Amino acid sequence: MKKLRLWPHILRTSRNEATLWEENTMKLNRRIFLGTSAAAAASLAAPMSFAAGHGKPHVVVVGGGAGGATAARYIAKDSKGEVAVTLIEPTRQYYTCFFSNLYLGGFKEMDDLGHSYGGLAAGGVNVVHDWATGVDREAKTVALAGGGSVSYDKLILSPGIDFVDGAVEGWDLSAQNAMPHAYKGGSQTELLKAQLMAMPEGGTFAMVAPPNPYRCPPGPYERVSMVAHYLKANNPTAKIIVADPKPKFSKMALFQEGWAENYGGMIDWIGEDFGGGNVSVDPAAMTVSIDGEVTKVDVCNVIPAMKAGRIAELAGVTDGNWAPVNAADMSTKADADVYVLGDAAQQGDMPKSGYSANSQAKVCANAVRGALTGSKVFPAKFSNTCWSLIDTDNGVKVGATYEATDEKIAKVDGFISATGEAAELRKATYEESEGWYAGITADMFGA
Amino acid sequence: MRIALTVALALGMSGVAQADGLGDAEKGAKVFTQCKGCHQVGEGAETRIGPHLNGVFGRAAGSLEDVRYSPSMKRMGSDGMVWDAATLDAYIENPRALVSKTRMSFRGIKDAQERSDLLAYLRIYSDNPADIPEAEPTALGTDHDIDPAILAIQGDPEYGEYLASECKTCHQSSGANDGIPSITLWPTEDFVVAMHAYKRKLRPHPVMQMISGRLNDEEIAALAAYFKDLEE
């Protein structure tokens, strides 16, 4: 009981790997007191004791985000025990990258974005908290940082993104504390928020936006909106500079309208035409050079060019920065028994988003289960919607449906919010995005 | 008497009822008698059990301040539904097909000509003709009800379960309703009718129009068959 009382304090103040296990265990203890999830605790208590066997086909999923968690959950749930599913995910508490901008803007608490894997474990998924460090596609095994390996019949990689080395001159991962990317949910998000809150009066917040393709196309611009929202209330003379290598961006007309209406004069977006792609940074001096002009800044959010999470490269299924996949089932072009979901996949027309990854995971789960158990495989259908928040109760969205063709995932139909929409509709759109967050996280984690 | 006189005056002055392909306003005044228990229209009309209908053409659904609308009707309004000839016609034909849990307790008018007459009558009291969305005469008086053959399709719940995975990105299988409506445990017919109303773009929501737009009749039936029993 003493530990139970400490739990909220620990959750708030420390998220490093050493305490995460304890934190998670205590969270589960709390669940047991609530009488919900004894099975989850039991299976997490001995995560390494699993052995693929008993003649069951075995699916290994690497990465417990929108793609991997969904795929693991659906295969375990729909196969009703016929397929053994192991999920390899290093963190015990998953913080979504989607909605993290709303934390920066003060609309969400960090705890609102955190999810445990207890629901998946209770649903029959063997959750292993470890790093996958390599894949032997001949032997069909995945090596773990903690030692040993896990064998698979089908391997699903959903590792999200990593950053391209040298993408922004002067920046590498060793500079991520001085100039955070905050483009993976969790500690980086908290760091950026802390830096934002510590900005001096009238200071400058800089963002180096990424080139295409990257995770969450409207993400950087929603972030600019949320930073502006915070500054308008707390530091109204502060400025925001965005250096962008692109000539245009997702929902551009909607964001620019919203910025002009709500944050007039605060945001300076420098696109490709004005040298926004000619950028270098100096993390020690806290300066940004844009097209030769050096500016001293107080916060610098560097979002570098992205590539598939490293395990996809180690598995040898990437071509360039991403892993090419077949649209019908998300299997890789390189190996019919290895699938790649979400941001890491090169699939065609879908944007890299949590919604897309979740959508692809269901198509993949259906195909993998069919291949292993002979269950009926239905045709692939994909969809995506991205909501963004511009200001309080001012939400916008863009979405599309997709189908599988021989070449790629191809767009079928789409829509986007209009400029000049009524306040009532924008408010309803924001409320809908909250409904979506509750829906997709329940769909991912089964909680 | 006063209403009849007003109709005659309005018709005499503008002839509007004939000009836009709607029916006969005088006949519509008689059709309106079955609405009068709840709705008023014309000079001095007030909201009683139901909202007054002055200016209903061009009005956003669920937008009068003094009316206690159902959450379903409020949602239609915030999703952007505006009353025009097409939406009013669909609503009067079968209110629940367009707005699932509307508080308007009315079985609907199946006769297309009667609806067209009623709309011609109501339109007289929408006082800003510039705001009235014009509709092709041929677009009016069509049958908004679902073909009984479509309603009779027995959906395949297994296919429905797979298709439903797309719905569950937003709609929770627990039936929780956090800004996105619950779609579990709906009677099959209500589900099918609602999905076809999105497919025909009578219901306004863009995501739902897009999702339903590529579902065929069998797929909608399969989803209905799956969701009707989904309880977690």
Quickly list DSSP for chain B.
Answer: -HHHHHHHHHHHHH-HHHHTS---HHHHHHHGGGTTTT---STT---SSS---TT-TTPBTT--TT----HHHHHHHHTT-B--HHHHHHHHH-HHHHSTT-S--------HHHHHHHHHHHHTT---GGGSPP--GGGTT---SPPHHHHT----HHHHHHHHHHHTTTS-TT---SSS---TT--HHHHHHHHHHHHTT-S--HHHHHHHHT--HHHHHHHHHHHTT---
Cα–Cα distance, B165 to B167 (Å, whole number): 5
Tell me: do B65 and B154 sit in the same domain.
Answer: no
Six token digits for residue A136: 């032997």
Nearest CA among A402, A345, A404 for reference residue A68: A345
Name the minimum distance, in Å, from the CA of B201 to any CA of chain A: 13
Contacts of A425 in chain B (CB under 8 A): 78-80
Domain covering A37-162+307-379 in this structure, CATH number: 3.50.50.60
Tell me: do B80 and B6 sit in the same domain.
Answer: yes
Contact: B210, A366; criterion CB under 8 Å: no
| Facing residue for B178 by CB, picked from A403, A425, A438 | A438
Strands A84-88 and A58-62: parallel
Six token digits for residue A383: 């969809």
Tell me which of B114, B139, B164 is where a domain ends: B139
**pLDDT tens profile A168-186:** 999 999 999 999 999 999 9
Contacts of A77 in chain B (CB under 8 A): none
| Residue B18 is assigned to a structural domain of this protein | yes
Nearest CA among B141, B94, B144 for reference residue B120: B141
Name the minimum distance, in Å, from the CA of B205 to any CA of chain A: 10
Q: Is B232 on the interface with A (CB under 8 A)?
A: no
Cα–Cα distance, A142 to B119 (Å, whole number): 68
Tell me: do B196 and B93 sit in the same domain.
Answer: no
Residue A265 in this model has a pLDDT that exceeds 50: yes
| Residue B67 is assigned to a structural domain of this protein | yes
Nearest CA among B232, B158, B181, B163 for reference residue A446: B232
Strands A132-136 and A141-144: antiparallel
Residue B130 in this model has a pLDDT that exceeds 60: no
Homologous superfamily, domain A172-304: FAD/NAD(P)-binding domain (3.50.50.60)
- Segment A71-81 mean pLDDT: 96
**pLDDT tens profile A86-95:** 999 999 999 9
Six token digits for residue B70: 């159902």
Contacts of A355 in chain B (CB under 8 A): 169
Tell me: do B120 and B183 sit in the same domain.
Answer: no
Of the two residues B8 and A413, the one the predictor is more confident about is A413
> What is the extent of the structural domain holding B180?
148-227
Tell me: do B131 and B161 sit in the same domain.
Answer: no
Name the minimum distance, in Å, from the CA of B176 to any CA of chain A: 9
Nearest CA among B18, B148, B150, B143 for reference residue B92: B143
- Segment A21-32 mean pLDDT: 38
Percent of chain B residues topping a pLDDT of 90: 44
Which parts of A247-347 fold into alpha helices (H)?
252-262, 310-314
Tell me: do B42 and B114 sit in the same domain.
Answer: yes
Strands A154-157 and A338-340: parallel
- Tallying the residues shown for chain A, one arrives at 447
The reply to whether A172-304 shares the fold of A37-162+307-379 is yes
Report how many Cβ contacts below 8 Å link chain A to chain B. Answer: 92
| Facing residue for A401 by CB, picked from B177, B179, B211 | B211
Tell me which of B139, B158, B179 is where a domain ends: B139
Torsion of CA A215, A216, A221, A226, to 10 degrees: -110
Look-up of token digits 């909201």: B47
Q: Is B71 on the interface with A (CB under 8 A)?
A: no
pLDDT at B22: 81
Tell me: do B68 and B162 sit in the same domain.
Answer: no
CATH number of residue B183's parent domain: 1.10.760.10
Nearest CA among A120, A93, A100, A88 for reference residue A7: A93
Contact: A425, B214; criterion CB under 8 Å: no
| Residue B232 is assigned to a structural domain of this protein | no
Contacts of A413 in chain B (CB under 8 A): 210, 213-214
Tell me which of B139, B158, B189 is where a domain ends: B139
What residue type is B127 in one-letter code?
D
Six token digits for residue A47: 């995560």
So where are chain A's domains?
Answer: 37-162+307-379, 172-304
Nearest residue of B to residue A426, measured between CA atoms? B78
**pLDDT tens profile B87-112:** 999 999 989 889 988 999 888 999 99
- Segment A22-27 mean pLDDT: 39
Contact: A425, B178; criterion CB under 8 Å: no
Strands A204-208 and A299-302: parallel
CB contacts under 8 A, A 343-382 vs B, are 355, 358-359, 362, 366, 376, 378, 381
Beta-bridge partners for A293: A290
Six token digits for residue B213: 């737009």
Contact: B179, A432; criterion CB under 8 Å: yes
Positive or negative: CA dihedral B115, B116, B117, B123: positive
Element (H, E) at A339: strand A338-340
CB contacts under 8 A, A 376-405 vs B, are 376, 378, 381, 383, 385, 397, 399-401, 403
| Facing residue for B165 by CB, picked from A74, A424, A434 | A74
What residue type is A401 in one-letter code?
T
Cα–Cα distance, A204 to A300 (Å, whole number): 9
Nearest residue of A to residue B75, measured between CA atoms? A428
Tell me: do B43 and B98 sit in the same domain.
Answer: yes
Cα–Cα distance, B191 to B165 (Å, whole number): 16
**pLDDT tens profile A197-249:** 999 999 999 999 999 999 999 999 999 999 999 999 999 999 999 999 999 99
Look-up of token digits 């993949």: A364
Name the minimum distance, in Å, from the CA of B77 to any CA of chain A: 8
Cα–Cα distance, A128 to A126 (Å, whole number): 6
Contact: B170, A435; criterion CB under 8 Å: yes
Cα–Cα distance, A129 to A63 (Å, whole number): 10
| Facing residue for A399 by CB, picked from B162, B177, B207 | B207
| Residue B109 is assigned to a structural domain of this protein | yes
Tell me: do B53 and B135 sit in the same domain.
Answer: yes
Lowest mean pLDDT among A119-123, A134-138, A263-267, B3-7: B3-7
Rg, Å, chain A Cα set:
22
pLDDT band at B37 (very low <50, low <70, confident <90, very high): confident
How distant, in Å, are the alpha carbons of A389, B46, B202 from that of A426?
Answer: 9, 30, 21
Residue A290 in this model has a pLDDT that exceeds 90: yes
Tell me: do B118 and B187 sit in the same domain.
Answer: no
Tell me: do B118 and B153 sit in the same domain.
Answer: no
pLDDT band at B20 (very low <50, low <70, confident <90, very high): low
Tell me: do B129 and B171 sit in the same domain.
Answer: no
pLDDT at B143: 57
Cα–Cα distance, A62 to A314 (Å, whole number): 12
> How many domains are there within chain B?
2
Nearest CA among A317, A433, A330, A333 for reference residue A381: A330
Cα–Cα distance, A5 to A434 (Å, whole number): 29
**pLDDT tens profile A318-370:** 999 999 999 999 999 999 999 999 999 999 999 999 999 999 999 999 999 99
Q: Is B106 on the interface with A (CB under 8 A)?
A: no
Contacts of B156 in chain A (CB under 8 A): none
